[in-house]
Structure 1
Amino acid sequence: MTEDERTAVDLLAGVARGLIELTSVAQTAMFRLPYPSSLQLALDRVVLAGLTRHMPTPGGVPELLSWCRERRPADWWPLELPVGFLTADARLIHSVGDEATRTCAELASYGRDGVLEQEAETLLAELANTCGTVERFAACRDFLISRPVILQYNPIELLGPAVAHTWKLVQHLYVPVPDRFRVHRVVHRCTGCLLLAKPVTADASWCEGGCQPEGRVLESSHQPEQARALPLGLRLFLALPGRTERAVRSGLDRQTRLLPQGLGLHRVTSPDGNLCVFQVQDREQPIPAALRAAEAAAELHGPLDIVAPDRLAASPGYRENFEYALSDGADVRLLSVSEFTGLRPAGRERNDHA
């Protein structure tokens, strides 16, 4: 990545962070004044870049938001992004849900100024420290994965002997669902990804996990004051891939052990008897995903397998762009769930350009 391309990506990530800060305000009106200073600063930088290059610029925050919703960054971004850095259909605001997209969240977590994924890692590190043992932390982590959104407080479930101690350790992580998710005083959750959702029209709906519209089913609570949800970073970077991770763990015929690092790594003995470490990711953008995986492998000081849902690994260009983005010597391999669990031959070697 050239210096100019890095500047372009850093600025786009700044816009994404501003949008995430804007959407974090728990108000019914998502775009209420005053705008966060981070978003206003990002707009100023975008305008300056556009003016110096004689390109169209947004006239203010509302127009910037409109462009983020209606246009691909490649169509209007004043600086040249690296080739293939974002997928062709990428948007920062979902055109139907009117919420920051997963792409926006991934960009907001990019680089040294990243906020969202990093906040999730901090919360998990604090939880691991409180738990004291890996086993207790693993139980808490699984609880969060299985319950990213609690529509209604159920004392029989949460205070029962099976989960009472776990609930005591994690309940501080749950916050009221933002007002903008209340549609006619009803809060919705997608039964597929278990994340927040909302009906948009009689025939259309939206969910945070991006489940296919034709198969999306919403469940609801008419007591929105009781609904609680994990912070956005934990919902998208822990709970969303966590559902696939739990399926991977149950699909292996070998015992896995949690390494409480970052969002969570797992060590398992491979069929050939060697130890390997894997992490499940579910991210829309392959290049930022690869860059983050390379950082995790460097922190691990060893090889790392990234396991992605089959549909994601098979999407056009995803694997190629992921592998292209890995730096020389990055000891990272991308595998689909079927490849990793042995349902299908892997047929992929680690990146070893060095």
Structure 2
Amino acid sequence: MTSTSLSGAGLPPDLPKWAAHKGIPLMRTLATALTRLDDVTGVESFTLPYPPEVQRALDRTVLACLERGAEPPASLPELLAWCRDRPVADWPVDLPADAVGPDDLLLDPESSRPTELCHEWAEQSGDSASELRDRRIILTALRLCREHGEEEAYTEFRRLLVTRPVLTAAEDFAVSMDHVLDPVKELLRLIYRRVPDSYLRGGTYAACGRCLTLLVPLRDGGWWCERDRCRRQGPPPVGRRLPKEEAGELLQLERPLRQFVTGPGRAEVELEARLTALGLTVRMWPAYDTYDVHLTFPDGRVWAVDVKDWAHPAFLGRAARPVPHEPPYDEAFWVVPQDRVDAHPGYIASFERNRPASARGLVLLTDTELTERARRRLAGLRSEKRQGDHDA
């Protein structure tokens, strides 16, 4: 947002309310520190002297508590314990009602890794030093594919990031020989990173059978999946097992892209599969990703769908914007996975409260609701056709 006017067109009506709460910048500072340091060292390995951003997060948390007359965390380990064990809603900090849910944590209790909520808070930081790397990568891919006039290259790039976040040495070689991906080959070399040995158990890596990302081995012999959505469905099923000797130099997509491209992309391709199974014509990421799903019914009517797999409904509402009109469509929707709504009471209402005025007409459905709407419409068309054939 570049406008300095709080009453500017399209801005969320509650923006002054959010800006007035000192806990908002605190949460952004803390989440940014946790996610950056998790990428570098892991949050359990902080040592004195603390990096400046971590010390700043601790200092601001202490100040916020003192201003409220509450006992602050006495050290960084104690602050990390708050992040891991104490829902943010119970912190003595000033936050608006929609900022967090009653059970939201910044660190996962099992692994001490940042939760998806933490990553979403970090993305809200607006810090130019860490500015939305996932978006920069996607915009770079779009630019390269447009320069080459290769829309198919972008579609295959996006599908690769969604369906193959982990590559063995042999798979990496196969990707390097895929000429469809030529416009983005250099970019792929930058965003697929060597997997550290911390993912190994007994000389073998394991990928999640649901979300396809690598699982983290836990001390008790179990496995931890980085996707909140996956963990809510129970212990992660082990999918591919990749012995280190057979996999060669294993590569994994970097975390910002796993978080904001692979994760939501799983919801996109799952929706694609459901709609295709209904017999509908589905085109993914059309016109260089103007929106996610272009759905055509037998009578030629088109729906445009943007899939948003966000943990935080207020953030999603504040990001709401009309679906672009190219390629043309008859109706447009934003769609969120059903389990997101099931896990967060009032999800849709919170989204709607935080929408800017410019997106008041944007409809948010769950993937279940959208599929059912499509099924009913398709059944109606088939019924009309049968009636027409009978009348003829």
Candidates 7, 11, 14, aligned match of 2:29: 14
Give how far 1:220 is off. Answer: 3.5
Q: CA RMSD in A?
A: 3.3
Residue aligning to 2:191 = 173
Match in the other structure for 2:139: 125
Query: Would you say 1:297 and 2:311 are equivalent positions?
Result: no
- How far apart in 1 are the matches of 2:125 and 2:224? 29
Which one of 165, 171, 176 corresponds to residue 148 of structure 1? 165
Counterpart in 2 of 1:351?
A: none
Cα distance, 1:227 vs structure 2: 1.9
The two structures have a TM-score, normalised by structure 1, of 0.82
Deviations 1:35-77 (A, max 9, x none): 332222122111112112211211222211111011111112x
Q: 1:48 to 1:267 in 2, by over 3 A?
A: same
Which segments of structure 1 move beyond 6 Å, counting only runs of 4 or more? 114-117, 298-303
1:24 counterpart SS class? helix
Q: Name the structure 2 match of 1:283.
A: 310
CA contact (8 A) 2:272 2:293 kept: no
Which AA in structure 1 matches 2:165? Answer: P
Give the aligned residue type for 1:9.
Answer: I
Q: 1:238 aligns with which of 245, 261, 270?
A: 261
Paired residue secondary structure (1:45): helix
Take 1:225 and 1:31, find their aligned partners in 2: how far apart are those partners? Answer: 31
**2:365 counterpart letter in structure 1:** L
Structure with max Cα Rg: 2
Give the unaligned 5+ runs of structure 2.
1-13, 378-392
Residues 165-209 of structure 1, C-alpha deviation per residue, up to 9 Å, x if partnerless? 488352331012245434555433212101131232446321012
Residues 38 and 277 from structure 1, CA distance in 2 versus in 1: closer, same or farther, beyond 3 angstroms? farther
Give the structure 2 partner of residue 311 of structure 1.
Answer: 339
Paired position in structure 1 for 2:352: 323
Which shifted more, 180-189 or 159-168?
A: 159-168
Change (3 A) 1:144 1:33: farther
Q: Name the CA distance, whole Å, in 2 between partners of 1:305 and 1:115.
A: 33
Give the counterpart of 2:51 among 16, 22, 36.
36
TM-aligned CA distance change 1:26 to 1:165, over 3 Å? farther
1:108–1:115 CA contact under 8 A, matched in 2? no
CA distance in 2, matches of 1:115, 1:258: 31
Match of 2:270 in 1: 247
Matched with 2:115 is: 101
Name the CA distance, whole Å, in 2 between partners of 1:274 and 1:7: 48
Match of 1:74?
Answer: 89
Name the CA distance, whole Å, in 2 between partners of 1:28 and 1:187: 22
What secondary structure, in the 3-state scheme, does the structure 1 residue paired with 2:281 have? coil
Task: Specify the alignment match of 1:57 in structure 2.
Answer: 72
Q: CA deviation at 1:297?
A: 3.4
**How big is each residue's C-alpha offset from its partner over 1:12-45, in whole Å with a ceiling of 9 and x where there is no partner?**
0110000011101057964345533222212211
> Structure 2 counterpart of 1:199, which letter?
P
Select between 215-224 and 14-23 the one with higher mean Cα deviation: 215-224
3-state SS of the aligned residue for 1:265?
coil
Q: Which moved more, 1:233-242 or 1:322-331?
A: 322-331
- Structure 2 counterpart of 1:85: 99
Count of residues in correspondence between the two structures: 341
CA distance 1:19–1:178, change in 2 (3 Å): farther
Deviations along 1:245-304, one digit per CA (max 9) or x if unpaired, are: 12323425134352446xx62363565866554221212221112222x1x438889996
The Cα offsets for residues 300-354 of structure 1, whole Å up to 9 and x where unpaired, read as 89996221222223443222222222233424221122322335669xxxxxxxx
CA apart distance, 1:7? 3.1
Structure 1 spans left out of the alignment, 5+ residues: 347-354
Q: Matched residues in 2 for 1:142 and 1:75: separation? A: 40
Structure-2 change in CA distance of 1:52 and 1:278 (3 Å):
same
Alpha-carbon deviation of 1:145?
A: 0.9
| CA distance in structure 2 between the aligned counterparts of 1:75 and 1:162, rounded to whole angstroms | 53
Contact 1:159 1:167 in 2 (8 A): no
The aligned residue for residue 294 of structure 2 is 268
- Identical counterparts, % of pairs: 28
1:78-130 residue CA offsets vs partner (Å, 9 max, x unmatched): 32211132222211110012211111111111153387782101011112222
| Secondary structure in structure 2 of the residue aligned to 1:82 | coil
Alpha-carbon distance in 1 for matches of 2:95, 2:144: 42
Distance 2:193 2:25 in 1: 30
Distance in 2, matches of 1:155 and 1:231, equals 15
Tell me the SS of whatever aligns to 1:324: helix
**Which structure's residues are more often helix, by fraction?**
2
- Structure 1 residue identity aligned to 2:140: E
* Structure-2 change in CA distance of 1:284 and 1:104 (3 Å): same
Q: Contact 1:17 / 1:108 at 8 angstroms: preserved in 2?
A: yes
Secondary structure of 1:307 counterpart: strand
